[in-house]
């Protein structure tokens, strides 16, 4: 089922986290903070929306790193109900897609709840002070890449890197709802 997150709450401060990654290390928000910005992307392995954009996300993250914006991805889906989103499968996914950023596991879903993540993919773009400046879509393509489609996330984070401020107009991301554990 598709879900749409709310738009950007400008200035909202990024909640702290420390989570295990597919590379065997753990990463904190402070370690991942970029000089000019930080992108926190909630993704998973099985969502068709994520599968459709993962190559473009990897490309954008690589290009953003050149201007001082770091990227980290977090999977918070309930792996008991969705085994394809389990930690071992995350390792395979990260390797298969040559992710140029840490891919973290939020098994308890505490971080996803703190961020108010709604769907996969759900992008949170912060400035150098970890203040939210972007919460929108990756690009103007639907699922499949369209030649010449506006690269919303890249352009927004480039603006954040240069000015500390995100664009006033943003288009919400769309994706599969996060698979929450039963209470």
Q: What's the pLDDT tens digit per position in 53-73?
A: 999 999 999 999 999 999 999
We report the CATH number of the domain holding residue 159 as 3.40.30.10
- Structural domain contains residue 43: yes
- pLDDT band per the 50, 70, 90 thresholds, residue 38: very high
- Structural domain contains residue 28: yes
Predicted pLDDT at 90: 98
Q: What is the mean pLDDT of residues 35-52?
A: 96
Q: What is the mean pLDDT of residues 65-91?
A: 97
Q: What pTM value is reported for the model? A: 0.95
Predicted pLDDT at 44: 98
* Residue 97 confidence (pLDDT) above 90: yes
Predicted pLDDT at 1: 58
- Tell me whether strands 69-75 and 103-105 are parallel, antiparallel or unpaired: parallel
Q: What does the longest C-alpha to C-alpha distance in the chain come to?
A: 44
- Structural domain contains residue 35: yes
- pLDDT band per the 50, 70, 90 thresholds, residue 143: low
CB 47 within 8 A of CB 75: no
Predicted pLDDT at 148: 74
- Structural domain contains residue 167: yes
Tokens 């753990």 locate to 26
Q: What is the mean pLDDT of residues 147-156?
A: 90
Q: With helix as H, strand as E and coil as C, how does 147-173 read?
A: CCCCCHHHHHHHHHHHHCCCCCCCCCC
CB 146 within 8 A of CB 140: yes
- Structural domain contains residue 127: yes
Predicted pLDDT at 140: 87
Predicted pLDDT at 162: 98
- Structural domain contains residue 183: no
Tokens 């000089």 locate to 35
- Structural domain contains residue 182: no
Q: Is 170 exposed, middle or buried (0-12, 13-18, 19+ CB in 10 A)?
A: buried
- Structural domain contains residue 26: yes
Question: Which of 112-134 are b and which e, b meaning 16 or more Cβ less than 10 Å from the residue's Cβ?
Answer: beebebbbbbbbbbbbbebbbbb
Domain with 135, as residue range(s), is 2-177
* Four-residue CA torsion sign, 7, 13, 14, 16: negative
> How many structural domains comprise the chain?
1
Predicted pLDDT at 142: 67
């Amino acid at each position: 089922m598709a879900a749409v997150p709310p738009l950007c709450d400008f200035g909202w401060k990024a909640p702290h986290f420390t989570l295990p990654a597919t590379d065997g290390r753990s990463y904190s928000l402070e370690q991942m903070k970029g000089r000019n910005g930080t992108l926190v992307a909630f993704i998973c392995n099985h969502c068709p929306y994520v599968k459709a954009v993962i190559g473009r996300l990897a490309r954008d993250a690589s290009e953003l790193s050149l201007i001082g914006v770091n990227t980290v991805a977090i999977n918070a889906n309930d792996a008991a109900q969705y085994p394809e989103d389990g930690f071992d499968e995350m390792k395979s996914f990260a390797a298969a897609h040559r992710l140029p950023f840490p891919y973290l596991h939020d098994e308890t879903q505490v971080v996803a709840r703190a961020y108010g993540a709604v769907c996969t993919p759900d992008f949170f773009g912060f400035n150098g002070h970890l203040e939210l400046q972007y919460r929108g879509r990756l690009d103007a393509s639907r699922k499949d890449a369209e030649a010449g489609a506006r690269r919303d996330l890249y352009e927004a984070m480039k603006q954040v890197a240069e000015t500390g401020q995100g664009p006033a107009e943003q288009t919400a991301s769309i994706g599969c709802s996060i698979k929450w554990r039963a209470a």
